[in-house]
């Protein structure tokens, strides 16, 4: 299934969190925190401004980004969890 986000929204796939502690203990899924870093899979056309013009997004497909812990809406696409975020919810790009 292919999905295209609208306007200033992006689709992000969370990067995998740590599976073990530094001491070697395996962290169970129920105790893991969801990562706040992910990779952008798709971007919308841009933000519509008050005068009707469209401002292109500053992020692009493939960028690694940081976002808030509770930001966005979780969706399941082809059995995998993804996030749909607004560009405003993105805190920064990892370079």
Q: Which two tokens stand for residue 81?
A: 């969890």
What total number of domains does the chain contain? 1
Task: Look at residue 72 and tell me if it is in a domain.
Answer: yes
8-54 tens-digit pLDDT: 899 998 877 555 555 666 666 565 556 678 899 988 888 888 888 88
Task: Look at residue 21 and tell me if it is in a domain.
Answer: yes
Q: Average of pLDDT values for 54-78?
A: 85
Name which residue leads in pLDDT, 87 or 34.
Answer: 87
CATH of the domain at 25: 2.30.33.40
Q: Has residue 55 got a pLDDT over 60?
A: yes
Task: Look at residue 54 and tell me if it is in a domain.
Answer: yes
Q: Average of pLDDT values for 52-79?
A: 85
The whole model's pTM is what?
A: 0.73
C-alpha Rg value of the chain to the nearest Å:
15
Q: Has residue 72 got a pLDDT over 80?
A: yes
Task: Look at residue 41 and tell me if it is in a domain.
Answer: yes
Task: Look at residue 3 and tell me if it is in a domain.
Answer: no
Q: What is the rounded CA–CA span in Å between residue 61 and residue 66?
A: 14
Task: Look at residue 1 and tell me if it is in a domain.
Answer: no
The dihedrals phi and psi of 74, each to the nearest 5 degrees, come to -80, 135
């Amino acid at each position: 299934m292919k999905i295209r986000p609208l306007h200033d929204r992006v689709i992000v796939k969370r990067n995998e969190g740590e599976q073990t502690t530094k001491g070697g203990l395996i962290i169970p899924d129920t105790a893991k925190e969801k990562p706040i870093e992910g990779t952008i899979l798709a971007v919308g056309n841009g933000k519509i401004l008050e005068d009707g013009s469209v401002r292109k997004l500053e992020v692009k497909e493939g960028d690694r980004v940081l976002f808030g812990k509770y930001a966005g809406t979780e969706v399941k696409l082809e059995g995998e969890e993804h996030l749909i975020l607004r560009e405003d919810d993105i805190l920064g790009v990892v370079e």
